Amino acid sequence: MDAMRFHRAAVLIAACMAICTGAAAEEFRLEDVPAVAGVPIAEIKPRTVIFADQRNDKLADSSTGLIPFDDWARSRPVQRRFLSLFASFVEPTLNQQTKLKLSVYHAEARFRLPRPATALDLSRYANVAFLEQIDPAVKHRPITAGDAVPNKDAGAAHNRPPNRRWCEDETAICVQSRYMFEGKIPAGIQLANKLRDEGKKPIPDFIEFQSEITLAAQPQLAELPSLTGLDSTVAGALEQNIFWVNQVIQFGKLLAVLQQHPTEPEAAIATVYILIAVRNDVLNKQREYTNTPILRNLVPAQLLMGKSSFNSGDSLSAGLPKYARGRVKAIADMMERE
């Protein structure tokens, strides 16, 4: 009898472990929607990320799929305030005469978490380990304020906030990151470099960037519902500002906002924003590739939007839309497991 009871107990434990393990392994499902704010909170299903980006936005340029920075800043001042590199950022003027025109890729996502917002600690993600988990293909190393390019290079000073230097806040961490392009892109870059005029700098086969990761504080926390459109208490917000990039991109921003669920005391709502500002001079200059059959699919706008035969993988080589989707899903999985 004891042996039978032991056997039954063992079977029950094994079944429970199988069920629990299966639930834990289940990834978030991503659901594309026209606009995140248009989905009622009550309709967000468990373990589902609702996602929207600007590719079909009325402001998007038909040839690039990106939104001109000026149009975005003028028509969406609340987004500009919270998602620009800093609130007063404008398109910089180079050599005291030429304005550097930019275009933006904007994505936002929202998901439900089965715990009160106060039970979730965003400070756990303000570190290099967080960056490594959401995209293992990118390698990082810590840097200091003295390493931050806009702090020491006059040519990059327009990417520095007017009232402070990057990386000097003792609560923030700063990193230098490098991503080596994958798939066919390195071979395409190598060929493009061979066809470039002598004396021109070669196009790197990697993206290198510097960023600051910090937790938002008051009064910004109290003001974030104007961005999310969700009228509930903000428990915290995690921000990554990419303030220097070696090519193509001018700046980037990731902002994750955690709010209490408006009607469920034991649940929270997370909204994640990704904004990438791209240099138009690079987009326009390298449109010359369209006249070279072998390089026709290496046009930067196509690569950025994931519409080239050179796109591959799940990281930046896949293009911004796929990269943004993968990143928000990884963030949702991490927060769900906390």
Task: Return d(Cα 79, Cα 100) in angstroms, integer.
Answer: 21
Q: Which amino acid is at 294?
A: I
Cis peptide before 219 (omega within 30 of 0): yes
- For residues 256 and 238, is the Cβ–Cβ distance under 8 A? yes
Asked if the model's pLDDT at residue 303 lies above 80, the reply is yes
Largest CA distance in the chain: 90
pLDDT at 63: 84
Structure tokens at 156: 């990059």
- Burial, 137: exposed, middle or buried (Cβ in 10 Å; 0-12, 13-18, 19+)? middle
Task: Return d(Cα 317, Cα 128) in angstroms, integer.
Answer: 21
The phi and psi torsions of 328 (rounded to 5 degrees) equal -70, -35
The number of beta carbons lying within 10 Å of the beta carbon of residue 188 is 22
Task: Return d(Cα 308, Cα 326) in angstroms, integer.
Answer: 18
pLDDT at 245: 97
Asked if the model's pLDDT at residue 49 lies above 90, the reply is yes
Q: Which amino acid is at 320?
A: L
H/E stretch holding 7 reads helix 2-25
pLDDT at 94: 82
Asked if the model's pLDDT at residue 326 lies above 70, the reply is yes
Which own/partner pairs from 217-226 qualify as long-range (CB within 8 Å, at least 24 positions apart)? Answer: 224/82, 224/257, 225/259, 226/78
pLDDT at 17: 38
Q: Which residue has the tokens 């497991």?
A: 337
Model pLDDT for residues 144-177, shown as the tens digit of each residue: 999 999 999 999 999 999 999 999 998 899 999 9
Asked if the model's pLDDT at residue 1 lies above 60, the reply is no
Which positions ≥6 away from 179 have C-beta within 8 Å?
135, 137, 138, 139, 206, 207, 208, 315, 316
Q: For residue 2, give Cα distances in angstroms to 5, 7, 10, 178.
A: 5, 9, 12, 60
Q: What average pLDDT does the segment 223-242 reach?
A: 96
Structure tokens at 101: 């025109």
Q: Which residue has the tokens 């196009």?
A: 203
| Mean pLDDT of the chain, nearest integer | 88
Percent of the chain exceeding pLDDT 90 equals: 72
**45-49, 147-151, 226-230, 287-291: which has the minimum mean pLDDT?**
287-291
Task: Return d(Cα 185, Cα 311) in angstroms, integer.
Answer: 7
* DSSP sequence for 238-265: EEEEEEEESSSEEEEEEEEEEEE-SS-T
Q: Which residue has the tokens 């995209």?
A: 135
pLDDT at 293: 62
pLDDT at 201: 86
164 CB-side CA count, 13 A: 10
Model pLDDT for residues 93-105, shown as the tens digit of each residue: 887 778 899 999 9
Q: What average pLDDT does the segment 233-256 reach?
A: 96
pLDDT at 98: 83
Task: Return d(Cα 286, Cα 283) in angstroms, integer.
Answer: 6
Which positions ≥6 away from 72 have C-beta within 8 Å?
59, 79, 80, 104, 106
pLDDT at 157: 94
Percent of the chain exceeding pLDDT 70 equals: 89
Residue 98's beta-bridge partner residues? 94
Confidence band for 247, pLDDT divided at 50, 70 and 90: very high
Asked if the model's pLDDT at residue 11 lies above 70, the reply is no
**12-26, 185-199, 244-258: which has the minimum mean pLDDT?**
12-26
Closest CA to 325 of 306, 310, 338: 306
Model pLDDT for residues 57-115, shown as the tens digit of each residue: 999 998 889 999 999 999 999 999 999 999 999 999 887 778 899 999 999 999 999 99
Asked if the model's pLDDT at residue 24 lies above 60, the reply is no
